Amino acid sequence: MTKQKKWLLSCIVIAVFLALVYFLEGIIPSYSNWSMLFTVLEKGSIYALVAVSMNLVNGFTGLFSLGQAGFMLIGAYAYAVFTIPVAQRAAVYQYFDGGLIQFTIPVFFAILLAGIVAAIFAFLIGLPVLRLKSDYLAIATLGFAEIIRAIFQWNALGPITNGSNLLRKFATYQSALFPIIACGICIAIICLLINSSYGRAFKAIREDEIAAEAMGINLFKHKQLSFVISSFFAGIGGALLAMFQTTIQASAFKAAMTYEFLLIVVIGGMGSITGSIIASFLFIACREWWLRFLDSELYIGDFQVPLLRAGFRNVVFSVVIMIIVLFYRKGIMGTREFSWNGLLRWFKNLPGNIRSIPGRLKRKNKKEAQINE
């Protein structure tokens, strides 16, 4: 396929997908089971954005950073604080005399601001932290995320952050198309970055720091760049998550949240944007929708199926994650990316692959038998 053809095909697919979402949104009533589809699409695309931003640092630059939840928190708060309508402020900031800030800014600029504030924090945190090596870096970024959470819950900052109380009544979106398009644009920008000369420098640092430095790559500058850009998009992700949830509270942005994103990145494949996106949607779809039935008690006749009750879903889910982490270490995509040619090839080879499964199994068994002998 020529480049032009691929572009055309991609544009058509995206347009059809967006039109389909718009159409379905009109006909599926909010009380039907299928409305979960929109939850999955909205939350999935927000998670995809944050997962891709985490992949930029962890998968492409090889820095083991665990600060994502902290940057999302900053983004979410920056967005919420500046978009609560002035008339509602007295109700939201009821313990702090209506709060300090008495103006709002348009949604678009608020989202951008969320990213910029997160990026500024990341820049300052990066100055000392990025000089550390692998696991020390992980712990230091985790520590900073916790410190950020503590600061946002501090009562003295209450007039701005509302202390440890909920923030609510800020502007949200109406259509599922909004988060999908916003996240799509952000992910596209990250893609362009990764395919630029900066992206190549990031990958070089991941492969071998010393060799990269010898080739004239300024280690600190590039690490800092990757970290700041990743946090910028995590901040935007946080703002979109705030819009999705309609209320936010600092205590929700715990280390456990970062771990979730890390697991998504690993399931999708470290260093694959496509993988992160697929894994995000799978993760959210399984957790919010497909595995829901595990949480409700089920009777077949008089027989109660054992184990099924609230919380079982998450147990099954984490066992599956452990299996992926242990046995499919490369994740869904490894370091490969989506391409039309790859997809075509996959479909072309599919019948052959299915036919060859018995043969492969036989060969595997034979090999194991030989080893056992």
Partner 1 sequence: MDFVRDNLPYILAGISVGGQYALIAIGYTMVYGILRLINFAHGDMFMIAGLMGVYAVTWMPLYLAIPFVIIFTVILGFAIERVAYKPLRSAPRMSVMISAIGVSYLLQNLALYITGGLTKTYPSIPWISNTVKVFGATTKVVTLITPVLTIALVVALVLLINHTKMGMAMRAVSRDFETARLMGIKIDSVISLTFIIGSFLAAVGSILYFSNYTGVMPTAGAMPGLKAFVAAVFGGIGSIPGAVIGAFIIGICENIIKGVGWTTFSDAFTFALLIVILIVKPTGLFGEKNIDKV
CB-nearer residue toward partner 1: 36 or 308 = 308
**CB of 20 vs partner 1, minimal distance in Å:** 34
CB-nearer residue toward partner 1: 71 or 170 = 71
**CB of 350 vs partner 1, minimal distance in Å:** 30
**CB of 183 vs partner 1, minimal distance in Å:** 24
CB-nearer residue toward partner 1: 64 or 338 = 64
Distance CA 153, CA 248 (A): 12
**CB of 8 vs partner 1, minimal distance in Å:** 39
**CB of 82 vs partner 1, minimal distance in Å:** 24
Distance CA 186, CA 233 (A): 7
CB-nearer residue toward partner 1: 213 or 337 = 213
Residues within the interface to partner 1 (CB under 8 A): 64, 128-129, 131-136, 138-140, 142-144, 146-147, 150-151, 153-155, 210, 254-256, 259-260, 262-263, 266, 309-312, 314-315, 317-319, 321-322, 325-326, 329
CB-nearer residue toward partner 1: 115 or 275 = 275
**CB of 74 vs partner 1, minimal distance in Å:** 15
CB-nearer residue toward partner 1: 25 or 209 = 209
**CB of 153 vs partner 1, minimal distance in Å:** 6
What angle (nearest 5°) sits at the alpha carbon of residue 96, between those of residues 90 and 97? 50
CB-nearer residue toward partner 1: 42 or 260 = 260
